[in-house]
């Protein structure tokens, strides 16, 4: 055991020695090296003791695994009570929380919505989409462009943004959905990058790297939110003191509504034949084809519906920020949303919400460790895949069953090829 740990430490020294120990710094004349032996020592020691602890824990753990049904059953039990609590806490949040927390809530809810949208594609239909942020960008830029060029309001543009994003989803998806899972992932990644590069370079339309600003804010049945009050404003109509926080609270409820809509739609879709076809497709594509399911159309609808929700979220993002630039739509955003879906357990609605709260909310908490945030995100992806490939709240209830509904634990599930 000690030998194993020492070996790990040796490997760690090989890995970390040059990279951490010798930092290249751009000096006055040439590149200079900064020596940091202490940092290497700390990193190597951390690996040594970490490995030792892991081995010790493994040797003391009982060999017999917990019954697969128990964890899943327990989760369902927790989920039944946790869902209403989380929901109530969220709805009443503007009444007890401060401005900062509501802003954070809006951010988290945006990611919850994106996560639920991507969940349709990845969790239900089993298509790994690495370019999801492209549709988010399409939604955001559609709203910004339509609003600025045609003077339409948020509520008119919202469905348009969704439809446009779905249209792009179909357009991009149609040729590539015949591909195998991992090829599909790479192609969607390429599409995401293509859209970002085009937005970045088509400066006459999108403003290029400078982005677009002055995007109109949403209104409530024609009542505007502004800090000055005045005729036709929300504060004036209801006879309230004009305050900027009205708009924040309004935005909070808008995104909450949109997110819940996403959730409701995907829950209802699961009960349609279409949703069942998605789940069947995820489990075994060849069996699906043998049973006469039109694989391409089924995949395409999942892709398009997922894209539409990304488009809605994008339009909301644009109206909340009042400013968008290509920087907000990099691959890292796709990776974060994917991480949320994966950590949430690929298909579990509550799991996605909790993962978004932990990852986005937690990430904001540790703003000071900004540099290490993505490091931890990436590490979490690997660890979750290794420890619990189906995510933390894994386990599925079959949509249809004979007699009682039995929860299927993650350990019992296998995957077909496709």
Partner 1 sequence: MAYVLQQLINGLTLGMIYGLIAVGYTMVYGIIGMINFAHGDVFMVGAFLSLIALTLLSGLGVTSVPLALALTLVFAAGIAALYGWTVERVAYRPLRGSFRLAPLISAIGMSIVLQNFVQVSQGARVKPMPELLPGGIPLMNSDGFAVQLSWMQIVIVIVTLALLAAFTYLVTKTPLGRAMRACEQDQKMAGLLGIDTDRTISITFVIGAALAAVAGLMFLLYYGVIDFYIGFIAGVKAFTAAVLGGIGSLPGAVLGGLAIGLIETFWSAYFSVQYKDVAAFSILVLVLIFMPTGLLGRADVEKV
Q: Which of 9, 44, 310, 342 binds partner 1 (CB under 8 A)?
A: 342
Residue 300 within binding range of partner 1, rule CB under 8 A: no
Name the residue among 352, 336, 310, 290 with its Cα closest to residue 124: 352
**Site map for partner 1, 383-402, x if CB under 8 A?**
--xx--xx------------
How does DSSP assign 350-404, residue by residue? HHHHHHHIIIIIHHHHTGGGHHHHHHHHHHHHHHHHHH-TT-TT--B--SS-SSS
Residue 350 within binding range of partner 1, rule CB under 8 A: no
Residue 368 within binding range of partner 1, rule CB under 8 A: no
Residue 68 within binding range of partner 1, rule CB under 8 A: no
CB of 186 to partner 1, least distance (A): 6
With 0-12 / 13-18 / 19 or more C-beta atoms within 10 angstroms meaning exposed / middle / buried, residue 65 is exposed
**Site map for partner 1, 130-159, x if CB under 8 A?**
x-----------------------------
Nearer CB in complex with partner 1: 105/192: 192
Measured over the CA atoms of residue 375, residue 376, residue 377 and residue 381, the dihedral's sign is: positive
Nearer CB in complex with partner 1: 207/216: 207
Residue 256 within binding range of partner 1, rule CB under 8 A: no
Residue 327 within binding range of partner 1, rule CB under 8 A: no
**Other beta carbons less than 10 A from residue 397's beta carbon:** 12
Piece of the chain touching partner 1 by CB under 8 A; list 18-26, 88-96, 158-166, 398-406: 18-26
Strand partners, 213: 323
Whole-angstrom Cα distance, residue 112 to residue 348?
Answer: 12
With 0-12 / 13-18 / 19 or more C-beta atoms within 10 angstroms meaning exposed / middle / buried, residue 337 is buried
CB of 235 to partner 1, least distance (A): 44
With 0-12 / 13-18 / 19 or more C-beta atoms within 10 angstroms meaning exposed / middle / buried, residue 132 is buried
Residue 288 within binding range of partner 1, rule CB under 8 A: no
Query: In b/e form, how buried is each residue of 358-367, taking b as 16+ CB within 10 angstroms?
Result: bbbeebeeee
Q: Which of 25, 231, 241, 368 binds partner 1 (CB under 8 A)?
A: 25
Residues 158-217 that bind partner 1 (CB under 8 A): 175-176, 178-179, 181-183, 185-187, 189-191, 193-194, 197-198, 200-201
Cα angle 65, 71, 77 (rounded to 5 degrees) comes to 160
Nearer CB in complex with partner 1: 82/200: 200
**107's tokens:** 């951010």
CB of 417 to partner 1, least distance (A): 7
**318's tokens:** 């644009």
Nearer CB in complex with partner 1: 229/389: 389
- 8 A C-beta contact, residue 308 and residue 166: yes
Phi, psi of 81 (to 5 degrees): -95, -30
Residue 28 within binding range of partner 1, rule CB under 8 A: no
Q: Which of 19, 56, 67, 88 binds partner 1 (CB under 8 A)?
A: 19
Nearer CB in complex with partner 1: 118/318: 118
CB of 3 to partner 1, least distance (A): 17
- 8 A C-beta contact, residue 51 and residue 9: yes
Residue 310 within binding range of partner 1, rule CB under 8 A: no
In 162-211 the beta strands, taken as DSSP E runs, fall at none
Nearer CB in complex with partner 1: 6/198: 198
Whole-angstrom Cα distance, residue 54 to residue 263?
Answer: 38
Residues that bind partner 1 (CB under 8 A): 11, 14-16, 18-20, 22-26, 30-33, 122, 126, 128, 130, 175-176, 178-179, 181-183, 185-187, 189-191, 193-194, 197-198, 200-201, 286, 331-332, 335, 338-339, 342, 371-372, 374-375, 377-382, 385-386, 389-390, 413-415, 417-418
């Amino acid at each position: 055991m000690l030998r194993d740990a020492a070996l790990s430490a040796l490997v760690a020294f090989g890995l970390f020695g040059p990279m951490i120990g010798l930092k290249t710094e751009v000096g006055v004349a040439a590149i200079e090296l900064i020596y940091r032996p202490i940092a290497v020592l700390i990193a190597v020691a951390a690996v040594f003791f970490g490995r030792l602890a892991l081995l010790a824990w493994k040797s003391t753990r009982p060999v017999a695994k917990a019954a697969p049904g128990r964890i899943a059953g327990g989760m369902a039990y927790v989920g039944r009570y946790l869902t209403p609590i989380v929901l109530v806490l969220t709805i009443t949040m503007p009444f007890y929380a401060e401005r900062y927390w509501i802003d954070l809530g809006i951010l988290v809810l945006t990611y919850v919505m994106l996560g639920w949208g991507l969940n349709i594609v990845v969790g239900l239909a089993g298509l790994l989409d690495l370019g999801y942020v492209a549709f988010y960008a399409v939604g955001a830029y559609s709203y910004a462009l339509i609003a600025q060029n045609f003077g339409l309001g948020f509520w008119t543009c919202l469905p348009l943004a969704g439809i446009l994003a779905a249209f792009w989803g179909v357009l991009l998806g149609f040729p590539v959905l015949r591909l195998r899972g991992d090829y599909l992932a790479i192609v969607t990644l390429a599409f995401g990058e293509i859209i970002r590069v085009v937005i970045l370079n088509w400066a006459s339309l999108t403003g290029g790297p400078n982005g677009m600003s002055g995007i109109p804010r949403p209104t409530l049945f024609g009542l505007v939110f502004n800090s000055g009050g005045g005729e036709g404003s929300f504060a004036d109509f209801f006879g309230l003191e004009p305050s900027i926080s009205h708009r924040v609270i309004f935005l909070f409820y808008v995104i909450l509504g949109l997110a819940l809509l996403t959730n409701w739609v995907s829950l209802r879709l699961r009960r349609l034949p279409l949703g069942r076809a998605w789940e069947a497709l995820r489990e075994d594509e060849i069996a699906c084809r043998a049973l006469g399911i039109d694989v391409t159309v089924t995949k395409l609808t999942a892709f398009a519906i997922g894209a539409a929700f990304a488009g809605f979220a994008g339009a909301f993002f644009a109206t909340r920020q009042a400013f968008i630039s290509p920087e907000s739509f990099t691959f890292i955003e796709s990776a974060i949303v994917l991480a949320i879906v994966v950590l949430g357990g690929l298909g579990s609605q509550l799991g996605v919400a909790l993962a978004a709260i932990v990852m986005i909310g937690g990430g904001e908490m540790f703003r000071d460790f900004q540099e290490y945030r993505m490091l931890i995100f990436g590490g979490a992806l690997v660890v979750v895949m290794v420890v619990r490939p189906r995510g933390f709240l894994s386990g599925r209830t079959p949509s249809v069953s004979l007699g009682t509904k039995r929860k299927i634990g993650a350990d019992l599930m296998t995957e077909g090829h496709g």
